[in-house]
Amino acid sequence: MSNPTVAIIGRPNVGKSTLFNRILKRKLAIVDDRPGVTRDRNYALADWNGREFYLIDTGGLVPNTEDRMEKSIKHQVEIALEEADVLLMVVDRQTGITDIDYHVAKLIRQFGKPYLLLVNKVDDQKHEGDSYEFMKLGLGEPLLIAAGPGRAIGDMLDKVVEMLPRNRVAPLDPSTIKVAVLGKPNVGKSSLINAITGEERVIVDSVPGTTRDSVDTIFEWRNQKYMLIDTAGLRRKSRVKDSLEFYTTLRTEKSLERADVGVLVLDSSEGLSHLDLTLASMLEHSNKAVMVVINKWDLQKDPNKANYLGWLKEQMPFLNFAEFVFTSATEEQGMPQLLQTVISVFYLWRKNVEPEALARAFDQAVEKNRPPSIKGKRIDLYSITQTDVAPPRFLIKASEPELVAPNYQKYLHKQLHEGLGLKGTPIRLMFKRSKPPADWSERNYVDYGGRPRYHSSKGED
């Protein structure tokens, strides 16, 4: 059984996201004084005194609205109400009871689930007397808290843990593959996740920037568990003018840090933008397995995949090691291939290469193109060994490690990627100064037990 779920609900701007961050003791939800900032359900695993539960931060509920986005938020809140085991209704002492508060209270009574009524922004005792008017909501005596400074949060969490079902505690399966879905606004990330999971888990809207919070979606396919991290759309840094945009940009980077696999989603009906290349660069340096999903392929006027892929690799050659998949989220095309590719790049990312295969690929690369001399010094490469995984890291012993040219390092990267079949994962090369092995001779020869050796350096160190 999975961990139980606690949902924070309420009208806009009562402090739900502040409470979410306070419980988690880290900033995951966007906190802003404008209504509607939290648009999707924001999931995270919380812990209190050894008891784990999923915490959902929902968007502010606005009933009977004609606004398209507020309708989407209402739909997401209703899904959260269905998923949750315990409901936390947050109201605002400073503004008092509103018609929306009465509507939310009615929803809670309809769902019939355990709940707590939390009056927020009760910063000290002198304000406690103002809070009992909320008993008019028909939800019993409220708990008085201040999410910002953290007043009474511990007492509240004690009550939450008491209300959680006792037969559903289980940690997240460690075999779960964590996938960060990156992309500029309006490339179809949310639609892609909905197509993969077969359920509407995130808001799909044609307005750029709809997904502002990261949303974790856990599902299973062919006996493999996945967690999809739908990251906020990245904006140009010149547009990061307030806290909202700042945290959105920061969350994109941090979502990638949490992942095993980074998936860059591109809109095939558009050319590459500066933001696409920015995200691609983030992936290149992320140490994560890398995929590029070419979405909206059904809108492509010239559906020649080979031509498009050749053009794309010319535009961002630094991601040529990545796996590329063509999809159409709205038509649900390419989803099995996408998931199978996720599994492939994940396991290559964690692969321990056979020493003999590593020696052979290294030998072939150096025989084909030996490192050029620098400043009159000949550079000799003596051996290669793997030192780590996720991603694969290799240590090369050389006579003059600091003189190995960047272009030659790029060459070795490319040759090892191809020779070892490590498609979809970056590799990291490290060079260390070493004297020639004692049995190293003038002639070229390779010991495929794992120690390839090349031309003599005359004993130089």
Give the annotated binding-site residues: 10-17, 57-61, 120-123, 183-190, 230-234, 295-298
Q: Which helix (H) or strand (E) holds 28?
A: none
Going by the annotation, the residues of the binding site for GTP are: 10-17, 57-61, 120-123, 183-190, 230-234, 295-298
For the chain, how many helices (H) and strands (E)? 11, 17
Question: The tokens of 387 are what?
Answer: 């030192």
Q: Pick from 353, 382, 359: which is nearest to 444 by CA? A: 382
- Sorted by sequence, the CB contacts under 8 Å of residue 449 that are 6+ apart come out as 355, 356, 359
Task: Return d(Cα 399, Cα 387) in angstroms, integer.
Answer: 19
Rg (CA), the chain: 27
Task: Return d(Cα 275, Cα 209) in angstroms, integer.
Answer: 13
Map 62-83 to HEC letters. Answer: CCCCCCHHHHHHHHHHHHHHHH
For residue 183, the 8-state DSSP code is: -
Strands, sheet with 143-144, edge to edge from the N-terminal-most edge strand: 42-48, 51-57, 5-9, 86-92, 115-120, 143-144
Give phi and psi for 163, each to the nearest 5. -85, -15
Task: Return d(Cα 382, Cα 399) in angstroms, integer.
Answer: 8
How many angstroms separate the Cα of 459 from the Cα of each of 30, 400, 434, 440?
A: 60, 12, 10, 10
